[in-house]
Amino acid sequence: MRDQAGLRRARRLGIGAVVVIALAGMNGPWLYRFGTERYHQYVINKPEYKAANGHWEIVEFPRRYRQDTIHAVLLHTGKVLLVAGSGNNQDNFDAKKFDSRIWDPVKGTVKKVPTPKDLFCTGHTQLANGNILIAGGTKRYEKLKGDVTKAGGLMIVHNENPDKPITLPAGTRFTGKANGRTFVSKDPVLVPRAKKVFDRGTGRFLRNDPGLGRIYVEAQRSGSRYETGTQDNYRIQGLTGVDARNTYGIAQKLALDKKDFQGIRDAYEFDPVAERYIKVDPMNEARWYPTLTTLSDGRILSVSGLDDIGQLVPGKNEIFDPTTRKWAYTPKIRQFPTYPALFLLQNGKLFYSGSNAGYGPDDVGREPGVWDVASNRFTKLPGLSDANMMETSGTVLLPPAQNERFLVIGGGGVGESKLSSRRTRVVDLKAGNPHFVDGPSLEKGTRYPQSSILPDDSVLVSGGSEDYRGRGDSNIHQARLYDPAANTFKRVADPLVGRNYHSGSILLPDGRVMFFGSDSLYGDKANTKPGTFEQRIEIYTPPYLYRGARPSLAGGPRTIARGASGTFTSRHASAIRKVRMIRPSASTHVTDVDQRSIALDFKSSGDRITVTVPKNRNLVQSGWYMLFADDDQGTPSKAQWVKVP
Is the preceding peptide bond at 368 cis, omega within 30 degrees of 0?
Answer: no
- Number of neighbouring beta carbons within 10 Å of residue 2: 6
Q: How far is it, in rounded angstroms, from Cα 157 to Cα 314?
A: 15
Per-residue pLDDT, 33 = 60
- For the cut 90, the answer to whether the pLDDT of residue 448 exceeds it is yes
Q: H-helix or E-strand containing 25?
A: helix 2-26
DSSP 57-119: EEE---GGG-----EEEE-TTS-EEEEEETTT-HHHHHTT--EEEEEETTTTEEEE----S--
What is the pTM (predicted TM-score) of this model? 0.90
DSSP 218-230: EESS-SGGG---S
- For the cut 80, the answer to whether the pLDDT of residue 85 exceeds it is yes
Asked which of 27-41, 147-161, 239-253, 497-511 is least confident by mean pLDDT, the reply is 27-41
Burial of 59 (0-12, 13-18, 19+ CB in 10 A): middle
In whole numbers, what is the pLDDT of the chain averaged over residues? 94
Per-residue pLDDT, 17 = 43
Tally of CA atoms within 13 A in the half-sphere of 393 that contains its CB: 37
Per-residue pLDDT, 12 = 46
**Three-state DSSP state, 346:** coil
* Whether the Cβ atoms of residue 82 and residue 65 lie closer than 8 Å to each other: no
* Whether the Cβ atoms of residue 188 and residue 167 lie closer than 8 Å to each other: yes
Q: What is the DSSP letter of 45?
A: T
Asked which of 24-28, 333-337, 378-382, 555-559 is least confident by mean pLDDT, the reply is 24-28
Distance, first Cα to last Cα, the chain = 98
Question: CA nearest 328: which of 337, 319, 336, 341?
Answer: 319
264-318: per-residue pLDDT in tens? 999 999 999 999 999 999 999 999 999 999 999 999 999 999 999 999 999 999 9
Beta bridge partners of 618: none
Per-residue pLDDT, 483 = 98
Question: CA nearest 230: which of 248, 254, 253?
Answer: 253
Domains 64-142+260-546 and 565-644 in one fold: no
- Number of neighbouring beta carbons within 10 Å of residue 508: 21
Per-residue pLDDT, 548 = 87
Per-residue pLDDT, 590 = 96
611-631: per-residue pLDDT in tens? 999 999 999 999 999 999 999
Question: CA nearest 233: which of 283, 191, 166, 178?
Answer: 178
pLDDT confidence bin for 510, thresholds 50/70/90: very high
Question: CA nearest 472: which of 498, 441, 449?
Answer: 498
CATH class of segment(s) 64-142+260-546:
mainly beta
Q: H-helix or E-strand containing 619?
A: none
- For the cut 60, the answer to whether the pLDDT of residue 16 exceeds it is no
- Give me the numbers of helices (H) and strands (E) for the chain, helices first please: 5, 47
Q: How far is it, in rounded angstroms, from Cα 284 to Cα 282?
A: 7
Phi and psi at 522, nearest 5°, equal: -125, 160
117-175: per-residue pLDDT in tens? 999 999 999 999 999 999 999 999 999 888 899 999 999 999 999 999 999 999 999 99
* Whether the Cβ atoms of residue 211 and residue 189 lie closer than 8 Å to each other: no
- For the cut 90, the answer to whether the pLDDT of residue 262 exceeds it is yes
- For the cut 70, the answer to whether the pLDDT of residue 5 exceeds it is no
pLDDT confidence bin for 221, thresholds 50/70/90: very high
- Helix ranges (H only) for 227-348 are 241-246
* Whether the Cβ atoms of residue 593 and residue 605 lie closer than 8 Å to each other: no
Kindly indicate whether the domain formed by 565-644 is annotated with CATH number 2.60.40.10.
yes
pLDDT confidence bin for 32, thresholds 50/70/90: low
Phi and psi at 168, nearest 5°, equal: -110, 125
**Three-state DSSP state, 247:** strand
Beta bridge partners of 372: 377
* Whether the Cβ atoms of residue 400 and residue 365 lie closer than 8 Å to each other: no
Q: How far is it, in rounded angstroms, from Cα 632 to Cα 645?
A: 31
35-67: per-residue pLDDT in tens? 777 888 888 999 999 999 999 999 999 999 999
**What is the CATH architecture assignment of 145-251?**
Beta Barrel (2.40)
Per-residue pLDDT, 43 = 87
Q: Is the dihedral of CA 261, 267, 271, 274 positive or negative?
A: negative
* Reduced 3-state DSSP string for 121-144: CCEEEECCCCCEEEECCEEECCEC
* Whether the Cβ atoms of residue 217 and residue 152 lie closer than 8 Å to each other: yes
515-564: per-residue pLDDT in tens? 999 999 999 999 999 999 999 999 999 999 999 899 999 999 999 999 99
Q: Which amino acid is at 491?
A: R
Q: Which amino acid is at 261?
A: F
Q: How far is it, in rounded angstroms, from Cα 271 to Cα 256?
A: 43
Q: How far is it, in rounded angstroms, from Cα 229 to Cα 235?
A: 18
Q: What is the DSSP letter of 639?
A: P
- For the cut 80, the answer to whether the pLDDT of residue 26 exceeds it is no
- For the cut 90, the answer to whether the pLDDT of residue 370 exceeds it is yes
- For the cut 70, the answer to whether the pLDDT of residue 24 exceeds it is no
Cα 326 from chain centre: 24
Beta bridge partners of 441: none
- Residue ranges per domain, the chain? 64-142+260-546, 145-251, 565-644
The CA-CA-CA angle for residues 299, 302, 308, to 5°, reads 145
Pair type for strands 608-612 and 132-135: unpaired
- For the cut 80, the answer to whether the pLDDT of residue 18 exceeds it is no
- For the cut 80, the answer to whether the pLDDT of residue 22 exceeds it is no
Q: How far is it, in rounded angstroms, from Cα 461 to Cα 455?
A: 14
Per-residue pLDDT, 34 = 61
Count how many residues are written for the chain. Answer: 645
- For the cut 90, the answer to whether the pLDDT of residue 14 exceeds it is no
Per-residue pLDDT, 27 = 56
- For the cut 60, the answer to whether the pLDDT of residue 74 exceeds it is yes
Cα 354 from chain centre: 14
pLDDT confidence bin for 21, thresholds 50/70/90: very low
Per-residue pLDDT, 37 = 77
CB within 8 A of 151, min separation 6: which ones? 183, 218, 219, 223, 224, 226, 227, 228, 254, 255, 256
Per-residue pLDDT, 39 = 80
Beta bridge partners of 377: 372
Q: How far is it, in rounded angstroms, from Cα 120 to Cα 204?
A: 51
Q: How far is it, in rounded angstroms, from Cα 528 to Cα 225?
A: 33
Question: CA nearest 308: which of 245, 397, 216?
Answer: 216
Cα 594 from chain centre: 11
- For the cut 80, the answer to whether the pLDDT of residue 25 exceeds it is no
The predicted model gives 637-641 an average pLDDT of 98
Q: H-helix or E-strand containing 303?
A: strand 300-303
Q: Which amino acid is at 548?
A: G
Pair type for strands 326-329 and 342-344: unpaired
Question: CA nearest 644: which of 128, 175, 148?
Answer: 128
